[in-house]
Chains A and B, each alone.
Chain A
């Protein structure tokens, strides 16, 4: 799998490259600003681009804008955005930036390399990887929602993991239950939230996210 990294801090860029290489991923370019990212993406045509939110020259939301711009130039390009903090506003903009896998994670998630590489692979495969903190805040925002209130605690756990972009297999592993049980929970969730059930993992994630964003 071929990866482009845009991260301005040398230590993080280097650490990230080595960690991904250790998991058998190929780093085609590692750049430190948005303009170089666009050039690298156009040249390398990677399977996924990993982008830090804060990049020179403005050190504000350069990364988000670079990610959106990259997806405009290379439609369907999977992008995983890393940030020191997460904002629902940015999550929305990324989700709305076109088709193809999208990820938005806290930098801390890098500490758990297995989970992180799993997220990278998921995004490269056209899936979604939303940070648990984004999902927690989305759920907190829906506290008054009657349909979500009707979910059992277990169903709410499944809903949160599903919204993060995890497959039934991953959810089953995480909660230490059978895949069949997860399928039962998801069916019940979709029924209670009045959503169209779907076998496609990613379409399911997007439906749940759209629902939570209200």
Chain B
């Protein structure tokens, strides 16, 4: 992340008249954003000002003391009500605007800015107002947003509009009057035509030349205020880790409960039944050998079934081929067991750590199950690669698309499982297909075991 983020920061602004004019134009865009941000904050401040004026306008006379206190109480009550109901939506709307500023600072100024808001404790739409208010107000990023609005309204916008203003004023106020009488020339001593031309050209040239630098300066100013502090980034990372860790522990615990239940209801129960059948056979073996033989056959069938159940269980916990041969062959074995037409390209020289291997295997297994259940695909492509410390697996099918992680829990589950390894899942599945799922898990490969001679 640091690599991609720091690279554009070192880049110089592009030079050239076209890009300068674009930069000046972008500056105007930022000024527009500033107006919107300031407007939002004024909505809040406006109420405070109105209330203050109302309090101030109460006539103060002898015996009015109580009346005045009443008004102050009313004002405070109204203020609290406003704070409760108006502050959260305004602050959230402000986040959208500063979010846009962050994004545009990256796209226009070459200064990408990361976002670092605290995650909402629950769905913010249903959250209790007070909890919501606390969530917003205890977030340092909220206060950085507000500081940015102030700085932007006082200084920032000047940087943003300066070049456009120089170009426009130079052209309209100084150069146009030289050729046309529609605009009166600026009134200052010595405003002869040559002076106007020189001054006008100088202003336009300065505006054009300075535009990229001013835009970049604006971006850096925004980054200074809006970018999360190192501490905030660390806090974000810690939060992410503790969340994924607790999710991983939950999944692990649920898995162990499932295994325990399966063993209890399956193999264990069959072994008990087998013991009882064998006991019964032992009791009648002298008196009724034929019946005893039937019971023995039954016991044997039970043992076969118990073994089959244990096999299925083991396959679900950690497939033997995966342990034996690693990810590439395990997925090859998986493709042999599905009716799908699968083209597998596996290019792994070594083995990822066992937990990563297992997560990747079950992710592919789940994706293939999705393809055969929903996609009606004719063909599927699986591509497994490792480069630059990243295991990349692509699963693409030519089915009818429309896969939505929000609808099925399967894709969400994969996402959660990969998140424990800082892995990510990306889905592209337009209606009509094709569906392309890409997974990336950062990991190193260990060298393959020496082979049997």
Contact = CB atoms under 8 A, between A and B. Distances in A.
A121 to B, nearest CB: 22
Contacts of B451: 65
Interface in B289-308: 300, 303-304, 307-308
B332 interface: yes
Nearest to B323: A60
Given A66-B452, A69-B452, A111-B303, A89 B329 contact: yes
Most chain A C-beta atoms within 10 Å of own C-beta, residue among B320, B323, B338: B320
Interface residues of A, number: 26
Q: Which 6 A-B pairs have the closest CB atoms?
A: A60-B324, A89-B333, A88-B336, A61-B324, A65-B452, A143-B339
B336 A108 contact: no
B311 A85 contact: yes
A111 B304 CA distance: 8
Contacts, number: 58
A106 B304 CA distance: 10
A58 interface: yes
Q: Is the interface of B mostly helix, strand, loop or mixed?
A: helix
A59 to B, nearest CB: 9
A34 interface: yes
Interface in A48-107: 58, 60-62, 65-66, 69, 84-85, 87-90, 92, 106-107
A18 interface: no
Contacts of A39: none
8 contacts: A61-B324, A87-B336, A111-B300, A137-B337, A140-B337, A140-B339, A141-B336, A142-B339
B325 interface: yes
A60 B314 CA distance: 14
A56 to B, nearest CB: 11
A146 B337 CA distance: 18
B97 to A, nearest CB: 54
B297 to A, nearest CB: 10
A151 B67 CA distance: 97
A144 interface: yes
Interface of A: 34, 58, 60-62, 65-66, 69, 84-85, 87-90, 92, 106-108, 111-112, 137, 140-144
A98 B453 CA distance: 18
Contacts of B359: none
B336 A62 contact: no
Contacts of A108: 303-304, 307-308
B70 to A, nearest CB: 82
A193 B234 CA distance: 64
B321 interface: yes
B449 interface: yes
A58 B453 CA distance: 12
Given A34-B452, A65-B452, A111-B303, A85 B337 contact: no
B315 interface: yes
Which of B303, B452, B453 has the most chain A CB within a 10 Å cutoff?
B452
Contact of B333 (A87, A112, A140, A144): A87
A87 B300 contact: no
Nearest to A57: B452
A140 B31 CA distance: 65
A55 B337 CA distance: 25
Interface in B433-453: 449, 451-453
